Structure 1
Amino acid sequence: MRRASERRTHVSRAISITVAGLALLGLAACGQPAQQQQPSGSAPTQTKQLTVVTHDSFALPDDLKAKFAKDTGYEVTYVAPGDTGALVNQLVLTKDAPLGDVVYGIDNTFASRAESEGILLDYTSAALPDSSRQFSAPQLTPIDFGDVCINADTAWFEAKGLAVPTTLDDLTDPKYKDLLVLTNPASSSPGLAFMFATIGAKGEDGYLDYWRALKDNGAKIDSGWTEAYYTDFSGADGKGPRPLVLSYATSPAYTVDGDTSSTVALLGTCFRQVEYAGVLKGTTNEVGAREFVEFMLSPEVQAAIPENLFMYPVVHDTPLPADWAKFAPLATQPIELTAEQIGEHRDQWIRDWTEAIG
């Protein structure tokens, strides 16, 4: 469900990913040969090849990826089967013949599924600082985090003499009728995060009524972020008619003109996302997989995350772009659900939403 180029394309970038001859439709059948699980207590496996499986918004600079390959001596291949939902689905489908050795990009909306399906080895990095352990998950190491929030085109609101909304309830007010574009939680990662925000705020018994109120107030629901942000949204590069869009708290840092941004995130509407790395069960290079997790926590990678992955680095004292303090602040009280709640109810909530709203 996540990010087939839907997330964080605020600046142009080339994504350098080697698919090693695998077509997307053939991934399930063409993974690494099935491996016998190593006996408990045996030495970790190691080969000269390392395959990294990511979502398709993974965009670390090529020089950092080249440095990792040079420093470790591994021949590194990057495989990107799709957005986060597709990534997890492919890893589950191919767990007896895994696509690679290590994964980056499973987030907290899908972490419980990855763990329950048995696709991961029990490994979390000891390099994670204590200050970042609030984001910890079993079998996974947090790498970055950020907030999914409604964004507003401030120039549009100024021109109309209309106050920018601030809360979820504001979005159902008739004065904001036909102004909002959202994304489908069954096909979009931000959409899924926003659905969780509405469940956290309105409860399992009230979130569908809230979505009905949004639709009655003219909210449009697109299939993905790119369509919503760049086609229907009036701000940023969009020429659309709607000045409210589901995006990220960091998005306004990429609509800066001089000393101001043309957009703002509504921090009272945010759901916090955390992205993880983990070692895949069945890896033939467990040593290399662990090294890649450590690499993702290195100062160089953490410093590159904001301007390349458009998320906050999980190591809290990592320098941030100068504009972020002003234009990309995090929500002080993001709407949250526990991993247990998400794991137990995610699929049913999506089915219920699709039947009632989609």
Structure 2
Amino acid sequence: MRTSKKTYVVMAVGLGLVALSACGSSSGSGSGGDSKTVTLVSHDSWAVSKNVLKDFERKSGYNVKVLEDGDAGQAVNKAILSKGNPQGDVFFGVDNTLLSRALDNGVFSSYKAKGLGEVKSEYQLDAGKNRVTPVDTGDICVNYDKKYFSEHKLTPPSSFADLAEPKYKDLLVTENAATSSPGLGFLLGSAAQYGDDGWQGYWKKLVANGVKVVDGWDQAYNEEFSGSAGGKKAGGERPLVVSYASSPPAEAIYSDPQPKTSPVGVSTGTCFRQIEFAGLLDGAGNEKGGQALLDFLISKEFQQDMPLNMFVDPVAGNATAPADYTKYAAKVDDPETMSPRKIADNRDSWVKAWTSLVRK
């Protein structure tokens, strides 16, 4: 559902990080019947350190082929359409906003990954059935350009309610909830905050206060947002953007020289908790390889590698995020949450109503 949440990784090529992809697919499993190849289908923001992936391949005996399939929403829809005759063996990247859609359509086979006991129970939204395995978590939040607010002697917003205040008029850019994961997450966060009967009134206030809506995260953050490296180059004029609590470490770590503090801040009262999952695709051509890959995704080695590659938090209790990541990351104590069933029951109607509101 999300767009390029981790587009930051392209900045890291010189640091030895790698985003692997493979074009095309074969009938049945993307592994093409080769028992030594396991195919991971993912959104286009998959990334892993080369040495970590090679270590898994050496120990397991499997070669990993990665098929990047657009943003998460597109990838989930393709997985549903190819149910029983999948493009690969494992799918990574379905989050809690779309989880029920994938599960209700029977996309995954049940498998209890080794090491699942290390994963915190709050992330195991399919506990017992084990059709999906939690892999990472993060928070969708409004980010702000520290320099802008300092120069304008303006206090950054700290809550959903603040964003509708006149002093923040024409400052916020968000993504389309119909096409973007952070856009949908921000909508769900407002629905959790204001309830079924109150969120539309809140969005009417945001529209009246000049909120700008663009298609996806890359455009919002790297073109419209004045606080990002890309936004500065593109002449971005909006100092508030819907992004992630992990944007500050990404912005700081890939700056040269690295600053003491990140130029980007997080309005921690505007956050919605996101959890990403992986699952063994029903009809996988290499079921054993797929199971081994799922074990790897929640291993301590992979979990500790994720933060500086994909800018997400580990779900395994035995994994610790690197110091460079935690140094800059915002701490979100009380994010908004919503059950997958409530999301499933309301997602389409809410997005339709939201679209009519922002287009007026």
Aligned to 1:17: 20
What is the distance in 1 between the residues matched to 2:23 and 2:249? 35
Which residue type is aligned with residue 333 of structure 2? T
The CA RMSD measured in Å over matched residues stands at: 2.1
Instruction: Classify the secondary structure of the residue corresponding to 1:260.
Output: coil
TM-score (norm 1): 0.89
Aligned to 1:338: 339
Q: Is the 8 A contact 2:300 2:318 kept in 1?
A: no
Aligned to 1:210: 202
Query: Which is worse superposed, 208-217 or 311-320?
Result: 311-320
Q: Is the 8 A contact 1:10 1:251 kept in 2?
A: no
What is the distance in 1 between the residues matched to 2:82 and 2:51? 30
Q: Give the unaligned 5+ runs of structure 2.
A: 253-257
Which residue type is aligned with residue 17 of structure 1? L
Which residue type is aligned with residue 167 of structure 1? S
What is the distance in 2 between the residues matched to 1:100 and 1:165? 44
- Select which of 66, 71, 79 maps to 1:78: 66
What is the distance in 1 between the residues matched to 2:119 and 2:60? 28
What is the distance in 1 between the residues matched to 2:288 and 2:189? 38
Aligned to 2:113: 125
Structure with the larger helix share: 2
Whether 1:226 and 2:218 are equivalent positions in the alignment is: yes
Whether 1:289 and 2:290 are equivalent positions in the alignment is: yes
Aligned to 2:51: 63
What is the distance in 2 between the residues matched to 1:206 and 1:53? 38
Deviation of residue 173 (structure 1)? 0.3
What is the distance in 2 between the residues matched to 1:95 and 1:356? 35
Deviation of residue 241 (structure 1)? 1.2
Deviation of residue 115 (structure 1)? 0.5
Aligned in 2, Cα 1:81/1:255: closer, same or farther, shift over 3 Å? closer
What is the distance in 2 between the residues matched to 1:264 and 1:132? 27
Mapping of residues 319-330 of structure 1, within 5 Å: 319-330=320-331
Q: Is the 8 A contact 1:120 1:278 kept in 2?
A: yes
Which residue type is aligned with residue 147 of structure 2? A
Aligned to 2:267: 266
Which residue type is aligned with residue 270 of structure 2? T
Mapping of residues 244-263 of structure 1, within 5 Å: 244-256=240-252, 257-263=258-264
Instruction: Classify the secondary structure of the residue corresponding to 1:357.
Output: helix
Q: Is the 8 A contact 2:38 2:65 kept in 1?
A: yes
What percentage of aligned pairs have identical amino acids? Answer: 39
Which residue type is aligned with residue 51 of structure 2? D
Q: Is the 8 A contact 1:149 1:270 kept in 2?
A: yes
Q: Kindly provide the CA deviation profile for residues 17-68 of structure 1, in whole angstroms up to 9, marking residues without a partner as x.
A: 342434xxxxxxx54179xxxxxxxxxx993331111111001122222222
What is the distance in 1 between the residues matched to 2:305 and 2:46? 12
Aligned to 1:155: 147
Deviation of residue 126 (structure 1)? 4.1
Q: Is the 8 A contact 1:31 1:94 kept in 2?
A: no
Mapping of residues 281-320 of structure 1, within 5 Å: 281-320=282-321
Query: Which is worse superposed, 340-349 or 265-274?
Result: 340-349
Aligned in 2, Cα 1:304/1:130: closer, same or farther, shift over 3 Å? closer
Number of aligned residues = 340
Aligned in 2, Cα 1:11/1:17: closer, same or farther, shift over 3 Å? closer
Aligned in 2, Cα 1:297/1:33: closer, same or farther, shift over 3 Å? closer
Whether 1:109 and 2:109 are equivalent positions in the alignment is: no
Instruction: Classify the secondary structure of the residue corresponding to 1:292.
Output: helix
Deviation of residue 270 (structure 1)? 0.3
Aligned to 2:179: 187
Deviation of residue 83 (structure 1)? 1.0
Which residue type is aligned with residue 194 of structure 1? F
Aligned in 2, Cα 1:50/1:211: closer, same or farther, shift over 3 Å? same
What is the distance in 2 between the residues matched to 1:113 and 1:131? 23
Instruction: Classify the secondary structure of the residue corresponding to 1:231.
Output: helix
What is the distance in 2 between the residues matched to 1:345 and 1:11? 35
Aligned to 2:40: 52
Deviation of residue 107 (structure 1)? 0.9
What is the distance in 2 between the residues matched to 1:131 and 1:63? 24
Q: Give the unaligned 5+ runs of structure 1.
A: 23-29, 35-44
Which residue type is aligned with residue 208 of structure 2? D
Q: Kindly provide the CA deviation profile for residues 276-297 of structure 1, in whole angstroms up to 9, marking residues without a partner as x.
A: 1111110122111111011011
Aligned in 2, Cα 1:70/1:323: closer, same or farther, shift over 3 Å? closer
